Amino acid sequence: MESKKDFKKGVQVEENLGDLSLINRSKLHVTGVLEVISFTEDEIDLITKGGNLTIEGKNLKMNKLDVVNGEVNITGTLNSFVYSENRKVKKKDSILSRLFR
């Protein structure tokens, strides 16, 4: 967790980068979501305050997406979730743009 110093009070305050709450390996609540990159029934890719988050499983569904508060609820059989460093996902170039480089 990153921390910031509150200079007015002289107190160390930790920045909330987001939370994961897993219930019975079938319901996942994620906070701190900035953007949904992609989703299928087997994989969901998110950009969160804490880094890129890849969720893998079976029959995955996003039941709630609250972009204002940065919250996502996911149901299905959850097998794994992995954080990686923040990086922009490069959009695939079209065939024409690759031909004319």
CATH number, domain containing residue 83: 2.60.40.2000
Residue 68 included in any domain: yes
Residue 2 included in any domain: no
Residue 62 included in any domain: yes
pTM for the whole structure: 0.71
**Structural domain harbouring 32:** 18-87
Instruction: Take residue 36 and report the two structure tokens written for it.
Output: 């949904």
Q: For the chain, what is the domain count?
A: 1
Residue 7 included in any domain: no
Provide the 10 A C-beta neighbour count for residue 53. 21
Provide the 10 A C-beta neighbour count for residue 44. 25
Whole-angstrom Cα distance, residue 43 to residue 22? 16
* Sequential pLDDT tens for the chain (101 residues): 455 555 556 666 567 888 999 999 999 999 999 999 999 999 999 999 999 999 999 999 999 999 889 999 999 999 999 999 865 544 445 544 545 55
Residue 38 included in any domain: yes
